[in-house]
A and B are shown apart, each in its own frame.
Chain A
């Protein structure tokens, strides 16, 4: 263990954490709204994420578009794919599977993600990565801390989107409908809100936001076919830690916290291990979560009281 507690190092790590954390926040919010409202373990989020990045790269290059426009188009591509997956795969499957829906959808989603990764490889020619053109990155230095203009754009965009979603959820009629369906899909049907339509809408929103995150990652490094797999683990972690039915800002803040903790772990751990910190947090949380204060291994989960 190499401990460097110098202030400069600390500040750099903190800023890195804020940057990564904002990405995690967006991922968590995007995945979380899908999970919270539909209950679907949408592993293929990795696919919509990566597709958005590729489309942004391709159209940006082909039509010589500015970054923002390419990003929007890429995110829309992700949106369309996400909606199609819900409509064509998940929904018919959920109807048939009844009580086993969670598992069948998870497995299908896994299948879609695997298909997606390899189709991207084939279509965009194996694992050659694609950079997004039209991105201008200028380095910024504040005091001793380094970051880039792209980082700033990503952080701002992420939080603007999260706040926008928060406003929509809490103040618009649509947001109320979404919250109704999240809380009780059957009851929503009774009062005239169609869960089916809302499911499609949240897949659209989640895939769109995820796509934005994907484009930013590709702008930072490059688009690769498997680029979605690591972020999706972060998306899961943040969404489950926060609780998928929480408001977007809460989920976002949890994402930020995760990013900061991961980054600051670099004070004590080498960078290789830092990558595992998030999973360690997840593991500890999941392992400890069901325990109540005085409960013992042999205590089973209580039955619902009638």
Chain B
């Protein structure tokens, strides 16, 4: 009996490891192979503090938590700007260095570690047998699960997943990506530290070998096998991987020596096969019991925080399930995509001719100040090496108007948007947004101050649904910040419902309401553009910089986009579009700036500019 309980204990400890890594890897997309090392920090903290100072376990657990969390934050800082392969490398170095330092230090017992960590107790309760230890592991695992659940399946978690999908796009919506990443690194490392403490309690030994790179890869295997982005999956993954040892020993009846080897072969093979055959893992992201029930009832209603697998327009139940954490091979939503499959009325209904769902006070406020100077740009310059991408640019945007930025390819139009929003730091210049200087501010700050942009290459969050994409645009969500998330659960719940309603109204405005539960990765390009537009509109930002909103789609989509943007003008929004399509420009633009080679060479109305021969020549080449 004790042996069985011991296995359950081991599963609980690994559940703690796995759910925390899942939050980091599965939700936030940060590949870390250092989880074992953070466990080591907790485990050796216990060994040292108990053997040398007889510190009670009840204090060591939080101490280990904090030490590992602090280390995680320190590692997180350089990790902020790294792409995946560099992050793997960094965390690899961290793993080896931490465990290496511990194993060379005499205080921590050198290569053999610290032994005889026994006679522990908690709240007067002895912890000498597996059955006695069980409640402790259960409580810690449950706490870890609850914490990771709260962070992962919430507005906060939605932002994490957006970060996983596309960081610049997330930043452009006003989210401070660095703060999120640092927090997640710190939190998940801290939980790993607590799990490390437990591991030492269970084995009574703190040895460097236990916390080596092998441990990190085992935890990765659990997360991947169980399902990235799904915490229940991590429980299953942990159980399966832990139980392979007794499986090989009892069921296949190998000797302990061979069984441990074959077990490792099996689990290496498992990794390869999972990647090949079912990369989203056993239980894919977003899979919930509610979703399972709903699928029976055939109702594609988006679930709070998660998503159903149901998508009304998506065919092929035999295909790889939509909602797979990673990667999804998703059947294209059949409806009118980009050129070719055009079928009016299916999929995208055109825009309802309802007004955009802006709060009426906001509209009234803007109407009062129509025509005022909202954005003033002077002398904006940026050099890349010897090339002047922007050369002493000056422009103005007035409230309630649509301004167009046109020019030949390579003129620097998208660069201007990047400079204005802070995605690229300008060399010189002044950018006043409603009188406030936003020069040098980060994109998320600029977005929060009221200037947002859309991207030429759309950049929707593919593995999130349309609704979730648009919800990410909504500003001021309580549940997106740690304080609100943890301290105001009731308020954030109602806030989430309001956010969802707001997002649905914007989706309705662009005509994508029926596709709310569909993953945007399954959409055609034109539909993605509509969702991206809804997303940027949902920010209710004052100034909208739309980068080629009508490009890359055929005529019927251009018309749809046109109508939508036109409806923004009476709402008092200030819009600037980069466009190549002169029809669009002609119909929409109140004022046009013509750019060439980084400078603005002309300004005026449509008829003024198209009348000018030299500009036509610059735009189209030799006449």
List residues of A whose CB falls within 8 A of some B CB.
41, 89, 92-93, 96-100, 102-108, 110-119, 121-122, 126, 229, 233, 236, 240, 270, 272-273, 275-276, 279-280, 282-283, 286-291, 297-303, 305-306
B100, CB-defined interface residue at 8 Å: yes
Q: Are B85 and A102 in contact (CB under 8 A)?
A: yes
The answer to whether A111 touches B271 (Cβ under 8 A) is yes
A104 to B80, CA, bound (A): 22
In the complex, the chain B residue whose C-beta lies closest to that of A92 is B276
Assess the B326–A100 pair: CB atoms within 8 A.
yes
Task: For B260, give the chain A residue with the smallest CB separation.
Answer: A118
Which residues on the B side are within 8 Å of A283 (C-beta)? Answer: 90, 93-94, 97
Q: How far is the CB of B514 from chain A (nearest CB, A)?
A: 27
Tell me which of A104, A276, A299 contacts B425 (CB under 8 A).
Answer: A299
Q: What separation, in Å, do the CA atoms of A97 and B425 have in the docked complex?
A: 34
CB distance A300 to B279 under 8 Å? no
Across the interface, A104 reaches (CB within 8 A) one of B262, B327, B412, B423, namely B327
B96 partner residues in chain A, CB cutoff 8 A: 233, 276, 279
Report if A115-B265 is in contact (Cβ < 8 Å); known contacts: A41-B88, A97-B279, A103-B31: yes
B143 close to A (CB within 8 Å): no
Told that A115-B268, A286-B90 touch, could you supply 7 new A-B pairs with CB distance under 8 A? Answer: A104-B275, A112-B272, A126-B261, A233-B96, A287-B90, A299-B425, A306-B413
Return chain B residues, CB-CB under 8 Å to A270. 104
Given A118-B264, A119-B265, A276-B97, A290 contacting B82 (CB threshold 8 A): yes
Q: Which residue of A lies closest to B329 (CB)?
A: A96
Which residue numbers of B lie inside 8 Å of A, CB to CB? 31, 77-78, 80-82, 84-86, 88-90, 92-94, 96-97, 100-101, 104, 167-168, 171, 177-178, 213, 217, 220-221, 224, 257-258, 261-262, 264-265, 267-272, 274-276, 279, 326-327, 329, 384, 389, 412-415, 418, 423-425, 442-443, 456
Q: Is the CB of A287 within 8 A of B78?
A: yes
Which residues of chain A have C-beta atoms less than 8 A from B267's C-beta? 111, 114
List the B residue with the shortest CB-CB distance to A225. B261
Contact A282 B93 (CB under 8 A): yes
Choice from A96, A115, A301, A305 contacting B81 with Cβ under 8 Å: A301
Contact B329 A108, beta carbon cutoff 8 Å: no
Is A236 in contact with B92, judged by CB distance below 8 angstroms? yes
Q: In the assembled complex, which residues on chain A have CB atoms less than 8 Å from the CB atom of B327?
A: 96-100, 104
CA distance A103 to B423 in the complex (A): 26
Q: Of A93, A122, A229, A290, which contacts B275 at CB under 8 A?
A: A93
Question: Residue of A at shortest CB range from B320?
Answer: A96
Check B82–A306 contact: CB distance below 8 A. no
- CB neighbours of A112 from chain B (8 A): 268, 272
Which residue of chain B lies nearest to A239 when distances are taken between CB atoms in the complex?
B89
Pick from B81, B97, B262: contact of A290, CB under 8 Å: B81
Q: Cα distance A244–B29 when bound, in Å?
A: 24
Q: Are A113 and B272 in contact (CB under 8 A)?
A: no
Taking CB atoms, residues of chain A closer than 8 Å to B423 are 300, 302-303
Given the known interface contacts A41-B85, A279-B100, A303-B424, the answer about A110 and B92 at a Cβ–Cβ threshold of 8 Å is: no
Known interface pairs A119-B265, A305-B424; A93-B276 also in contact (CB < 8 Å): yes
> Inside 8 A of B329's CB, which chain A residues have their CB?
96
Cα distance, A117 to B213, chains bound together (Å): 14
Closest Cβ neighbor of B412 among chain A residues: A305
Q: Are A276 and B101 in contact (CB under 8 A)?
A: yes
- CB pair A107–B88 under 8 Å, yes or no, is no
Task: Report the bound CA distance from A41 to B89 in whole Å.
Answer: 10
| CB atoms of B78 and A122 under 8 A apart | no
A126 and B276 CA atoms in complex are apart in Å by 29
Supply 14 A–B pairs (Cβ within 8 Å), ascending by A: A89-B272, A96-B329, A100-B279, A103-B84, A108-B272, A108-B275, A114-B267, A118-B264, A122-B261, A283-B90, A289-B86, A299-B442, A300-B178, A305-B415
In the bound complex, residues from chain A placing their C-beta under 8 Å from that of B97 are 276, 279-280, 283
* A300-B168 contact in complex given A112-B268, A122-B265, A280-B97, C-beta closer than 8 Å: yes
By the criterion CB–CB under 8 Å, are B272 and A282 in contact? no
- A305 and B384 contacting across the interface, CB-CB below 8 Å: yes
Q: Are B272 and A286 neighbours in the complex by a CB distance under 8 Å?
A: no
Chain B hits for A290, CB < 8 A: 81-82, 86
Interface centre among B90, B257, B268 (most CB of A within 10 A): B268
**B217 CB contact (under 8 Å) in A105, A114, A119, A280:** A114
Bound state CA distance, A97 and B31, in angstroms?
Answer: 16
Chain A residues whose C-beta falls within 8 Å of the C-beta of B93 in the assembled complex: 279-280, 282-283, 286
Complex alpha-carbon distance, A9 and B171, angstroms:
54
CB neighbours of A298 from chain B (8 A)? 178, 442
Contact (Cβ within 8 A) B85 A89: no
| Residues in A whose Cβ lies below 8 Å from that of B274 | 107
In the complex, what residue of chain B is closest to A99 when comparing beta carbons? Answer: B327
A99→B82 CA distance, assembly (Å): 17
Give the shortest distance, in Å, between A56 (CB) and chain B (any CB).
Answer: 22
Closest residue to A122 on the B side, CB-wise?
B261
CA distance A273 to B82 in the complex (A): 27
Q: Can you name the residue of chain A whose Cβ is closest to the Cβ of B414?
A: A306
Give the residues in chain B near A240, CB-CB below 8 Å: 86, 89
Q: List the B side residues contacting A106 at CB < 8 Å.
A: 31, 88
Q: How long is the Cα–Cα vector from A110 to B90 in the complex, in angstroms?
A: 17
Q: Which of A92, A119, A288 has the most CB of B within 10 A?
A: A119
Q: Which of A118, A126, A291 has the most CB of B within 10 A?
A: A118
Q: Cβ of A306: which chain B residues have Cβ within 8 Å of it?
A: 413-415, 456
Min CB distance B491 to A, Å, is 29
B71 to chain A, nearest CB (A): 13
Assembled-state Cα–Cα distance A240/B443 (Å)? 30
Question: Which chain B residues lie closer than 8 Å to A98 at the CB level?
Answer: 327
B85 near A118: Cβ-Cβ < 8 Å: no
> Judging by beta carbons under 8 Å apart, are A300 and B84 in contact?
no
Nearest neighbor of B29 in chain A, beta-carbon distance: A103
Of all chain A residues, which has the CB nearest B441? A298
Residues of A within 8 A of B177 (CB): 300
A contact residues around B171 at 8 Å (CB): 300
